[in-house]
Amino acid sequence: MLNGKTAVVTGASRGIGKAISLCLARAGADLALIYAGSKEAAEGVCKEAKKLGAKAISYQCNVADWSQSKAVCDAITQDFSTVDILVNNAGATQDNLIVRMSEEDFDAVIGVNLKGAFNFTRHLARALMKSSSGRIINITSVSGLMGNPGQANYSAAKAGVIGLTKTVAKELAARGVTCNAVAPGFIQTDMTASLPQAVKDYAHTATPLRRMGSADEVAETVAFLASSQSSYITGEVIRVDGGLCM
């Protein structure tokens, strides 16, 4: 399905990013995997992808940094003959109520979640336009759709990602590139593992499907958006949230 395509996935060393990377590799894509800190974990994902028959290279990068992102995107376009799929998945939270939130925590969360998606889209846009079927998939959150107490920075960043998604969809449509967003609800990963038990209990009761989702359930939706099966979908936000935000 994705044979001959190259996918760039940010935040690929664990959680949802790892699941997306391996799902795309299973569908036949080669992988440029972006990680922030753990080379060992990123190399582990590369190894698994190679077992699936993919070419896979990992690159260390703070996605919030313009120059580092540019250098890595330039390296990717040298190392792979095409860039067809970009998944802006890297994300981070620094939760606090608005009355206590520091400027640093606001800027850091906007930096990773929103500017990171901008940086990689900006630096890979020309390469994606050269692809016969360019695809950009941004991982946003239900927090960006409905707000969430304690997450002013994160909700603002993820809502910003939706605005970015729709504008990029309109700008690049004429070049055959689609741009969509996936909005997960409560998904079992390191990000949610540290939530207080009361929030985990809330996740179950507030979600109509009465459970948290898995990283693979998000990854399957991303793989659909990366495939030719989604060719007439652009500027869309698909919730993968068990019905939480309806």
Q: Which residues bind ligand NAI (CB under 6 A)?
A: 10-11, 13-17, 36-37, 61-64, 89-92, 112, 139, 141, 184, 186-187, 189-192
Q: Is the separation of the CB atoms in 61 and 34 below 8 Å? A: yes
Q: Minimum distance between the CB of residue 92 and ligand NAI, rounded to whole angstroms?
A: 4
Nearer to ligand NAI, 42 or 172 (CB): 42
Gap between the Cα atoms of 125 and 38, Å rounded: 27
CA distances from 165 to 11, 97, 117 (A): 18, 27, 9
Gap between the Cα atoms of 236 and 229, Å rounded: 14
Where are the alpha helices (H) located in 111-189, listed in sequence order?
116-130, 142-146, 152-172
Nearer to ligand NAI, 133 or 148 (CB): 148
Strands 6-10 and 85-88: parallel
Q: Would you state the structure tokens that stand for residue 140, as one six-digit string?
A: 């946003």
Instruction: Calculate helix-pair angle for 15-26, 215-226, nearest 10 degrees.
Output: 50
CB atoms within 10 A of CB 125: 20
Q: Minimum distance between the CB of residue 189 and ligand NAI, rounded to whole angstroms?
A: 3
Nearer to ligand NAI, 54 or 219 (CB): 219
Q: Minimum distance between the CB of residue 8 and ligand NAI, rounded to whole angstroms?
A: 12
Q: Minimum distance between the CB of residue 144 and ligand NAI, rounded to whole angstroms?
A: 9
Q: Minimum distance between the CB of residue 208 and ligand NAI, rounded to whole angstroms?
A: 16
Tell me whether residue 35 is one of the annotated catalytic residues: no
- Given the residues 35, 59, 154, 232, the one annotated as active site: 154
Nearer to ligand NAI, 13 or 153 (CB): 13
Nearer to ligand NAI, 69 or 77 (CB): 69
DSSP H or E segment with residue 86:
strand 85-88
Catalytic residues: 154
